[in-house]
Structure 1
Amino acid sequence: MADSGNVHDSCEVTSTGSDERNSHWVGPQLLTKMVTKSRWKMLAGLVLVLVMAWYSISREERYIHLFSFPVQVDDKTTCPQGEVEKKTTLLIGNYTRDHPLFLQLKDYFWEKTPSSYELPYGTKGSEDSLLRLLAITSSSVPESIHSMKCRRCAVVGNGHRLRNSSMGEAINKYDVVIRLNNAPVHGYEQDVGSKTTMRLFYPESAHFNPRKENNPDTLLVLVPFKPMDFQWMETILNDKKRKPTTGLLAITLALHFCDLVHIAGFGYPDSTNKKQTIHYYEQITLKSMAASEHNVSHEALAIKKMLELGVVKNLTYF
């Protein structure tokens, strides 16, 4: 029994010793396999990152190639008369240039054809205010623009991409420069130019002192979104106490009287980039637009559709 016990003990010792010896060999092998697998995983991950980066850059380059072009606008530029009208009919079903751009009292159309929609899509409920407003004002496209054989227009958005763009000189070469809301010109001339033919705005986005950022002959265009907007304009014109995406409308306006429509400064930062400013002149970010009624994605799709059809061309990548 004693011998048996000794044998058992020696076997246990031998077994343990064998495990220890094997551990010296098996351990490094396992470690080598683990390192090899980790290395392949790291390489695979690196390759994936590089592929994603390449795809992102490639996609960006494709968009830049599709939605931008070299700026070469001068008096010798051939006027593509009729092209904008032809292409816009593919985009807007009831498109026509037969109607005036701006309402006048003689266009009292809602008396015969009442609108079924309220502002901003119709005049329902605002007829009386609109009638009073048109009774004390009358505007039309200036004769200096109306008489042009070729109207080359630039619609200048307020996007961050205009900052440090040095687009000012190119923008000033257009016959008609349309600006939006209260976007400043003074101090940003190198990037956005100094010429302003029309400025579209709504009451909350109007300049308190419009003479500062506009030319003396700038045509100020009210874009009403609610009944109170007519009342606001009425108080301004009657010298009473003042009350406290336009971009798409500006482009649409240009499509109805321009022979050439180029845009600059449109587009928003990526939705994941909450800290990127959306304007070239202030620090407002995309996050601040969360409570607004702007549908950024739909606006982007609409403009890209115009660009793809060739209705407009882009001076800054979209």
Structure 2
Amino acid sequence: MKEEKDIYVEDGIMKFSWKPLLAWGLRLLPLLLFLISFATYYYSYVILQSSGGTGKALNISKSLCGGLLTQKNWERLNLNITRHTQLFLKMEDFFWKETQSKLPLPYGIKGSELMLLKVLAATNYQMPTNIENLECRTCVVIGNGYVVKNSSLGSLINKYDVVIRLNDAPVRGYEDDVGNKTTMRFFYPESAYSNPILQNDPDTLMVMVPFKMQDLRWLKEILYNEKRVRKGFWKPPPLIWLGDPSKTRVLDPHIFQQAADNFLKISNKKGKNPVHPTTGMLAVVAALNYCDVVHIAGFGYPSLKKPLHPIHYYGRANMKSMMNSYHDINNEAKALRRLEESGAILYLHPHL
């Protein structure tokens, strides 16, 4: 049997074997990907820091919108779908129209029309004027992941026009890592604080993400001070919620449908447990629809091989709690990677 060498002579000609080079290339690939991610993060960080203090939002918008970081994000996605800048439901979207929704929550409103009518009558759908009038909107979506712990990104996060937070992730006590500005908070009943002002700004928009009919029913009962029905929740929601109705919004199911169909390619077949986008993925899709620059931080889960590893920058929840989840976190990680590779989003920290 002929022994294969890295360098050998055949017919008087010195030749090289490519197999060792290929093996080394595969070994170095993870390091190369990490270096690319870090270089992208560092470039973004330098641009943002060059904008000065937290009170110079206009300069930051100019730095990001006028630089290499934004080139029509929506067009880059090549999804062949219309950008949906109206993120929140309003009555005229579904009522007094001949074409009614054919899908139930979370992808439509079929079966929830009357309940939704009462909710929308007591809430609002508009975005703050100062944000709506911006020529270029810089947005950051802050995930709840452990990866943002000890990141010292707080002052950077506060510089964006729009800061979107998720569920019950705390701000107080974690300002150095996640900042303290909150433009919108996406939540559902099980993740609601009884008093939202404790972890949000007075003008924060509280965006209800209705995964099921019970979510709308809970909000209706709160808004009209009706008897609370606590059945149908995987975790008891608060009986008292002190959110301001004028600052309360309901996320349009169109965002759910975009996330599931176009970004995650979810196919929920009858007879199987449903899989839905996470609140974080929905927030990213909403930001891509509404914003001109979309950055993210705090996204990503530890390996399932590490069941005791913390998953949040706060609390004690670990990967065990994700075992029976209705979310496909691996699929979402791949979707975020595709968005990053297309240039549609940018991470504020190195990641694998």
TM-score by length of 1: 0.77
1:301 aligned to 313, 331, 334, which one? Answer: 334
For the aligned residues, what is the CA RMSD? 2.4
3-state SS of paired residue (2:127): coil
1:82 Cα deviation after fit: 5.8
Q: Which has the higher mean CA deviation after the structures are superposed, 259-268 or 61-70?
A: 61-70
Q: How many percent of aligned residue pairs carry the same amino acid? A: 45
Q: What are the residue-to-residue correspondences of 1:38-187 with 2, within 5 Å? A: 55=28, 58=31, 61=34, 64-65=37-38, 68-70=41-43, 71=45, 72-73=47-48, 74=51, 75=59, 76-80=62-66, 83-88=72-77, 90=78, 92-97=79-84, 100-108=86-94, 111-187=97-173
**4+ runs of 1 displaced by more than 6 Å?**
none
1:280 aligned to 313, 317, 336, which one? Answer: 313
State whether residues 64 and 293 of structure 2, in contact with CA within 8 Å, keep that contact through their aligned partners in structure 1.
Answer: no
1:101 Cα deviation after fit: 1.6
State whether residues 105 and 138 of structure 1, in contact with CA within 8 Å, keep that contact through their aligned partners in structure 2.
Answer: no
Equivalent residue pairs, number: 266
3-state SS of paired residue (2:344): coil
Q: What are the residue-to-residue correspondences of 1:222-237 with 2, within 5 Å? A: 222-237=208-223
Hey, what's the Cα distance between the residues in 2 that align with 1:65 and 1:163?
17
Counterpart of 1:214 in structure 2: which amino acid? N
The corresponding residue for 1:197 is 183
Hey, what's the Cα distance between the residues in 1 that align with 2:339 and 2:63?
21
- Pair 215,59 (structure 1): closer, same or farther in 2 beyond 3 Å: same
Counterpart of 1:84 in structure 2: which amino acid? N
1:63 Cα deviation after fit: 6.5
Q: Which has the higher mean CA deviation after the structures are superposed, 262-271 or 101-110?
A: 101-110
Hey, what's the Cα distance between the residues in 2 that align with 1:117 and 1:93?
22
1:136 Cα deviation after fit: 2.0
The corresponding residue for 2:201 is 215
Greater C-alpha Rg: 1
State whether residues 86 and 290 of structure 2, in contact with CA within 8 Å, keep that contact through their aligned partners in structure 1.
Answer: no
Residues 256-289 of structure 1 deviation map (CA, whole Å, 9 limit, x = unaligned): 1111100000011122122211100011111111
State whether residues 106 and 210 of structure 2, in contact with CA within 8 Å, keep that contact through their aligned partners in structure 1.
Answer: yes
3-state SS of paired residue (1:106): helix
1:115 Cα deviation after fit: 2.3
Hey, what's the Cα distance between the residues in 1 that align with 2:319 and 2:304?
7
3-state SS of paired residue (1:251): helix
State whether residues 79 and 260 of structure 1, in contact with CA within 8 Å, keep that contact through their aligned partners in structure 2.
Answer: yes
Hey, what's the Cα distance between the residues in 2 that align with 1:107 and 1:117?
15
Counterpart of 2:338 in structure 1: which amino acid? K
Q: Which has the higher mean CA deviation after the structures are superposed, 60-69 or 184-193?
A: 60-69
1:269 aligned to 285, 290, 302, which one? Answer: 302
3-state SS of paired residue (2:126): coil
Counterpart of 2:113 in structure 1: which amino acid? E
State whether residues 94 and 100 of structure 2, in contact with CA within 8 Å, keep that contact through their aligned partners in structure 1.
Answer: no
Q: Which has the higher mean CA deviation after the structures are superposed, 53-62 or 135-144?
A: 53-62
Hey, what's the Cα distance between the residues in 1 that align with 2:185 and 2:145?
16
The corresponding residue for 1:312 is 345
Hey, what's the Cα distance between the residues in 1 that align with 2:180 and 2:106?
30
Residue ranges of structure 1 left out of the alignment (5+ in a row): 1-50
1:302 Cα deviation after fit: 1.2
3-state SS of paired residue (1:154): strand
Q: What are the residue-to-residue correspondences of 1:29-40 with 2, within 5 Å? A: none
State whether residues 67 and 307 of structure 1, in contact with CA within 8 Å, keep that contact through their aligned partners in structure 2.
Answer: no
Hey, what's the Cα distance between the residues in 1 that align with 2:32 and 2:99?
48
3-state SS of paired residue (2:63): coil
Counterpart of 1:236 in structure 2: which amino acid? I
- Pair 66,301 (structure 1): closer, same or farther in 2 beyond 3 Å: farther
Residues 92-138 of structure 1 deviation map (CA, whole Å, 9 limit, x = unaligned): 332224x6221112222584222222111111211121122112222
The corresponding residue for 1:252 is 285
1:54 Cα deviation after fit: 5.0
Residues 123-154 of structure 1 deviation map (CA, whole Å, 9 limit, x = unaligned): 12111211221122222111010011221111
Hey, what's the Cα distance between the residues in 2 that align with 1:93 and 1:177?
27
State whether residues 156 and 264 of structure 1, in contact with CA within 8 Å, keep that contact through their aligned partners in structure 2.
Answer: yes
Hey, what's the Cα distance between the residues in 1 that align with 2:311 and 2:40?
19
TM-score by length of 2: 0.70
